[in-house]
Structure 1
Amino acid sequence: MKKIALLFIVLFVFACKNEPKQAENKIKDDVTFLADDKLEGRQTGTPGEKAASGYISERFKDIGLLPKGTEGFIQSFSFKPKTDPHKEVEFTTNADSTITGRNVIGFIDNNAENTIVIGAHYDHLGFGGEGSLYREKDKAIHNGADDNASGVAVMLNLADRLKVRNETAETKDNNNYLFMAFSGEEMGLLGSNYFSKNPTIDTKSINYMINMDMVGRMKADSTLAVYGVGTSPMFKQTLKANNEKFKLVENESGVGPSDHTSFYLIDIPVLHFFTGQHEDYHKPGDDSEKLNYGGMNLISEYIFTIITDLNDNGKLAFRKTKNESEEVPRFKVGLGVVPDYLFDGKGMRIDGTREDTPASNAGLQKGDIVIKLGDADVTDMMSYMKALSTFEKGDETSISVKRGEDIIETTVKF
């Protein structure tokens, strides 16, 4: 009897050893840690940011990534805060009045010629300050669960899945993978900008870059925005061929308000994934319990299939795109709304309103679609901004919105 029991134990141990390794799904755990009050909003240069970088470093280590920073997984960068908003930040080694941020960089080495960069920024706004849309007098922690603990969590999930695949597959992928958690994004894409000027790998070997910023609030219609689709001829067909779950909103430009821009500007194809703004954007209410974790899992799976599909295509061709940000008109006033950037109908749909603003004072509501502002028809976001740019503080004008099947006409004062 003892011999039989011993035989079962041996067989069990042998079976466990030969069981294929599985990637662990820790998306919710990662968001919960990064968006906890204890990290005090992960503002660049603070103890909370340092704690977050330490956590991500440990996750990289546990997954089995190789360190690719300048100090293990960490690439530190120091800079002086801007005094002129129109000037670029200067990176410096001078310790006087400087802030130090930390990129976290890990690597899967498949001995391939080319490398795919997969990134997401992990810094946020701390207790608010510049960039915050919180208007109360008491300071409050901005946890940034969607912005951008969500992107970091999906990046870590992809790192784990790609590491497991390349450990268990008979042949390794035709690309290496560089995973980057950027700091300083909220201060002006500083971490990715610094890396582009001080890379820890040869940037000529970078095949393309995937960025995830605010991917945690997928709505019921499963809308997913993908920017940069025009930066390589392969992207559009690949996105379409692998899409079964999403209503895709595509934008060709490689330039936008996130870290993919830093790579596009050094002639690297980019894809940037985004599930849209919301009423908690840059406010204390952006907390972990409000995220759509099922949607995040679907996005991770989608990006994984895109990477897999592109694996045998060699190095992708880069293509410059129209810089739409150069066409954005300047304006002196605002309605005080959160636009729905994923709305692809006619007009500008309001995704949220802020209290005591021209919009709220005029009775505008979430879901209203602005179709006319003053004498100008509003057909999309650009026409809305052009119409807004003609007004100054104190002006009063008419506004028409579609609310359900009704057209509401009212007056707004800036």
Structure 2
Amino acid sequence: MNRIFLFMFFLAFMSCKKNETPLVTIQEDVAFLAKDELEGRETGTENEVKAATYIKERMESIGLLPMGLDGTYYQTFTFKPKKGPHDEVQFVENGDSILSGRNVIGYVDNKAENTIIIGAHFDHLGMGGEGSLYVGEDIHNGADDNASGVGVLLKLAEKLKDTLNGNNYLFMAFSGEEMGLLGSNYFAKNPTIDLSKANCMINMDMVGRLREDKTLSVSGTGTAPIWNQVLNSVNPGFKLVLKESGIGPSDHTSFYLQDIPVLHFFTGQHEDYHKPSDDFDKLNYEGMEMISGYIVSTIGELDGKEKLQFRKTKNESEETPRFKVGLGVMPDYLFDGKGMRIDGVSEDRPAFKAGLLKGDVVVKLGDSTVTDMMSYMRALSVFKEGDSADVTVNRDGESIVKKIDF
């Protein structure tokens, strides 16, 4: 009798296993979104539609409810693209030369009072053009920017569904981020849920390049009094770089401007940023799993608690000086030492010609001492084309002076 029971149990178990939807890894999601066939997922193209369809099907397989328009997972928006670099994109209903983008939105309804919004943008630069740091036309796959964020978004949907139920969850993949936060801006002004019930918004943009020292930037920590305490108490071993401002060059900004507490997770820029070389095989997938676990733990601290209190923060972008010239370097935004560390040098630009290298830490530019990113930008802002200046850098413990010709 026992043998028959065990045999029947085994058959039933195997039948259930066959009917289960197998879990998809972050790596598999990124591999699809960042493949050459999608040609960079530029907003308004058929390849953006293919990427959106994939995300919709993934949300459906996870068991998220549609929370777009008309009972679908999609929120479509139409707009006129910019004619020049200083123009603004305009949302329009109809007319000539309009493009369409789409947000992909899924929902977990825990019958809770408040909702946590979790987002990441899925569009990228297509074949290049405006915004690209590559000379020429080639596929910009955007594996880190921002297939990585979407991969973590979908992993969070799997982890949070049927677990933490003190909040509802709205999972949203935005389009149009590279054109000026279009998708998140449109949703914030045309929400498919009651935004007065939004507890907070968590954004992942470029979370695929966690470094060996596990440095992780989290912005928006000043937008709710509890953030610093929570982030430090559940930290599994990250070297955290915490920034208070709720304003930044990613989709969390659209929600901060609606008086919603935000957090933005970011593993730093790199030499492949906005270039065709931002590819699937360069990402740190173990690091992305670690980040997803950290976000779940952060959300767990909010479970069953009162709605977060919103606080306004200083708008750091308003204090950023304007430049007439540039060094041609990629700053290391995660560096927390004294000075401005160079994370990449562009060929045929002033820094390259002067012999500056990746890893150099700028400590003086002209007559100005450089202690951090803001002091570096202030020092750079006084120069114009044709000027020359000495720059002092620390290189492997040695102080080196080079001449920069702007």
Specify if TM > 0.5: yes
Matches within 5 A, 1:124-203: 124-135=124-135, 137=136, 139-165=137-163, 173-203=165-195
Aligned to 2:359: 367
Aligned to 2:43: 44
Q: 1:29 to 1:164 in 2, by over 3 A?
A: farther
Aligned to 2:376: 384
Matches within 5 A, 1:2-401: 6-13=4-11, 24=23, 26-71=25-70, 72-83=72-83, 85-135=85-135, 137=136, 139-165=137-163, 173-401=165-393
Aligned to 1:170: none
Letter in 2 for 1:132: S
CA contact (8 A) 2:167 2:304 kept: no
Tell me the SS of whatever aligns to 2:90. coil
- Distance, in Å, in 2 between the alignment partners of 1:67 and 1:337 is 43
Tell me the SS of whatever aligns to 1:165. coil
Tell me the SS of whatever aligns to 2:159. helix
State, as a whole percentage, how many aligned pairs show the same letter: 63
CA contact (8 A) 2:40 2:126 kept: yes
CA contact (8 A) 1:277 1:341 kept: yes
CA contact (8 A) 1:23 1:164 kept: no
CA positional deviation for 1:88:
3.5
RMSD: 1.7
What TM-score do you get using the length of structure 1 for normalisation? 0.94
- Distance, in Å, in 1 between the alignment partners of 2:113 and 2:11 is 39
CA contact (8 A) 1:23 1:160 kept: no
- Distance, in Å, in 2 between the alignment partners of 1:17 and 1:257 is 48
Question: After the TM superposition, which segments of 4 or more aligned residues of structure 1 sit over 3 Å from their partners?
Answer: 3-6, 13-19, 84-88
CA positional deviation for 1:253:
0.3
What TM-score do you get using the length of structure 2 for normalisation? 0.96
CA contact (8 A) 1:23 1:161 kept: no
Letter in 2 for 1:366: K
- Distance, in Å, in 2 between the alignment partners of 1:15 and 1:257 is 49
CA contact (8 A) 2:205 2:266 kept: yes
Unaligned runs of 5+ in 2: none
CA positional deviation for 1:82:
1.9
- Distance, in Å, in 1 between the alignment partners of 2:301 and 2:248 is 25
Letter in 2 for 1:399: V
Unaligned runs of 5+ in 1: 167-172
Letter in 1 for 2:268: G
